[in-house]
Every structure is written in C-alpha cells, then in structure tokens.
Amino acid sequence: MNNTDKIYNLAVSGVQKLIPYTPGKPIEELERELGLTNIIKLASNENPLGPGKKALAAIQATLKDLALYPDGNGFNLKSALADKYAVDISQITLGNGSNEILELVARAFLTPELEVVFSQHAFAVYPLVTQAVGATAVVAPALNYGHDLDAMLERVTDKTRLVFIANPNNPTGTLLSHTDLEVFIKALPDTCICVLDEAYCEFVGDQSAGNSIAWLKKYPNLLITRTFSKAYGLAGLRIGYGLSSPQLADILNRVRQPFNNNMLALAAAEAALTDTEHLQNTLAVNAQGMQLITEGFKALALEWIPSAGNFVLVDLKQPAMPIYEALLRKGVIVRPVGVYELPNHLRITIGTQTENELFLQALTEVISVL
C-alpha cells in the first residue's frame, strides 16, 4: 500500500469495505461507448411517461424563486401528504429521495454493536446504509424469491434495532399480504424499528393504499417510506418521504440537512399529488406493458417472477451478463441483478408499448443466436 492509499485506513471500518451502489447504465454513457442512438433504458424502474403536466407547470412557476432557500420544513408538501393520508404533519419526514429516509433511520438508530435484519434479494440500499454506520447485517434467506417473514423474525434479537422490508420488493417484485405483514410487525419487540419500504405501492392497486398507514396508530416503531421517483415520474428531482409516529419522525428530522429537499422537487411533488390523470395513465401503461412483456417471455419459453411493481425479473436459466451485454449492443439497457445473488436473471422495467416491443424484439434476436 503506498502513501496515498493509507488514507483508506483512516475511514471508519464499515466504509473501508463498502462497495457503492451500481445504478442502471445511463443512456448517454451507452451512446458514448457504442456510438448508438435510439437507445431505450428499461433499467431503473423510471416512469416511461415522464413527469406529469402539473408537476412540470409547478417547476416552471417555481424557477423564478431559485435564488431563495427552499422551505426547510416542506410545509406545503407535508400538508398535502397529511391531507391525502389523514395523518398529522408531525408524522412526516421528507427526504432527498426515499433513499435518504433509509439513510436517516440508519444514522439515527444504529451503532456498531447493533444488528439489522433484512431478506436475501432485498433492495441493495439496506446493506449499504447498514454497513456505512458499522452495524451488522443479518440476512434471512428468501422464500420463493420473496421475504420469509418467519425466517426474518427468527433472526430478530435484542440487538436488532432495525428490520427492512420492501413491499413490493425490488428487484423481485414479490408482494407480502397485509395480514402476514401485520402479524410480523406486531411480533417485533418494541426495541426494533420496522422500515416498510413502499416505493412501488401505487402499482399494487386496491390492497396497498392506506392500509399500512392505518398501522401507524398502533405501532410507534413503524416507518413507512414512499417516493415520487417511481409512479409519479420524478426520479430526477429526488423526493420521497417517511410516515411514522411523531416521535420517530422527530428523530429523523433532527439528523437531516436543514434544506434536504430542493425547491423544484417540493413544488413538483405537491402538484404531482393532484395529478390523478397522470397516475392513472401510468398505472394503465404499466399493466398493459406487464402483460405484453410477460406474454413475450412465455412465447420465448422463459420463466419470470410474477411482479407487483413496474418491473419484472426474467429467469434466463444461464448467466445473464452475456445476454445483458448483447442487449446493450442493440441499444437496450436492462438491469443485471448479480449483486442480488440472482446471476441468471435480468430485471426489466416496464416501458411504453414501443419500448416494450423493441425490448422483446431485441431479446428474441439475442436468444435465437445463443
């Protein structure tokens, strides 16, 4: 190790071993690398319809105020969320993406002596935020690619300060029943905080909305996280939120930056909540696209994991990287999931009809020459 490398030894031990999150490949990067145009990206569960008109108008109207600091309390957006979910403003924490809420809860509650339980194949940010603060990750084996709540509960001890559950889960798209989930939350010791990550709840339909929020009255150790990045089409602005007891929200709000949400994001998110038409279109396009893509898999004799989100994992029954790379050469970016211990799967975000058809055509060509 040379002198400049010694600086690594100065970092806290969790960070020394940290392998950063790998995002989906940006379109511009593939353009640069292969000189392709007309690239489609179905890699990051983004909304293929883009942001809604109301969000765009709110951004336009806010631009003139950009010299000012944003409202550090996000009062207008919090009020709109409080109305929508019938919670008190004091129960809301706004984040720079819901990813920030996951970080805040880790920072506020974990020490190197404590443990965090989550599932195999669960969202990659859980191990990252755990390791960054030096806490110990305890991974429960998955059941049929989804969370095995019994296996998770068995691993909860008096050292467990957090459990993370993604419902639906990314990347598998698996969905837990609300009955099973509540049994699990109820069984947790009150020294353990349950983070219920509902980044995709809008795609689930009737059984999702509101249901888990009613639990907040009963479980002061429950934190529900949601986002404007997926169904609302605002991933580039970075805005998400946590819903919890006022006490838990107070703790999270103590450790966040004073101005963690930018002014455009606050305005756009508030407007997006009123844009039911855009949300309905998004859900319809997703449902149709999910059907088209899974029928395409069927025609190619490929298996997939039934998904409650806006993405689907296909099982290629062989190493997925060569197929991922062949798709890249055809200008189609999807997501390898080797870091999730799923080396034979690819995750496909549902796109517009045109994008879905282009993807299926590219996949068919790639598979036919194997």
Ligand X SMILES: *Cc1c(COP(=O)(O)O)cnc(C)c1O
Sites of contact with ligand X (CB under 6 A)? 45, 97-99, 123, 166, 170, 197, 199, 227, 229, 235, 240
Q: What is the distance between the alpha carbons of residues 30 and 191, in angstroms, rounded to a whole number?
A: 47
Query: Is 47 or 294 the residue whose CB approaches ligand X more closely?
Result: 47
> What phi and psi values does residue 244 have, to the nearest 5 degrees?
-165, -175
Query: Is 227 or 253 the residue whose CB approaches ligand X more closely?
Result: 227
Half-sphere exposure of 11 (CA within 13 A, CB side): 14
| Reduced 3-state DSSP string for 232-282 | CCCHHHCCEEEEECHHHHHHHHHHCCCCCCCHHHHHHHHHHHHCHHHHHHH
DSSP-based three-state secondary structure for 198: coil
Beta strands per DSSP E along 141-253? 160-166, 193-197, 222-227, 240-244
Least separation in angstroms between residue 67's CB and ligand X is: 27
Query: Is 99 or 282 the residue whose CB approaches ligand X more closely?
Result: 99
Query: Is 91 or 98 the residue whose CB approaches ligand X more closely?
Result: 98
CB 209 within 8 A of CB 183: no
Nearest CA-CA partner of 89 in 270, 246, 220: 246
First to last CA, the chain: 44
Query: Is 203 or 219 the residue whose CB approaches ligand X more closely?
Result: 203
Query: Is 97 or 146 the residue whose CB approaches ligand X more closely?
Result: 97
Nearest CA-CA partner of 242 in 343, 106, 339: 106
Least separation in angstroms between residue 249's CB and ligand X is: 17
Q: Which residue is nearest to ligand X (CB)?
A: 97
CB 347 within 8 A of CB 323: no
Least separation in angstroms between residue 197's CB and ligand X is: 5
Least separation in angstroms between residue 261's CB and ligand X is: 12
Least separation in angstroms between residue 354's CB and ligand X is: 24
Give the rounded distance of the alpha carbon of 243 from its chain centre.
Answer: 16
Least separation in angstroms between residue 227's CB and ligand X is: 3
For residue 281, give the amino acid letter: N
Least separation in angstroms between residue 283's CB and ligand X is: 17
Least separation in angstroms between residue 51's CB and ligand X is: 14
Query: Is 40 or 94 the residue whose CB approaches ligand X more closely?
Result: 94
Query: Is 235 or 273 the residue whose CB approaches ligand X more closely?
Result: 235
Q: What is the distance between the alpha carbons of residues 249 and 231, in angstroms, rounded to a whole number?
A: 24
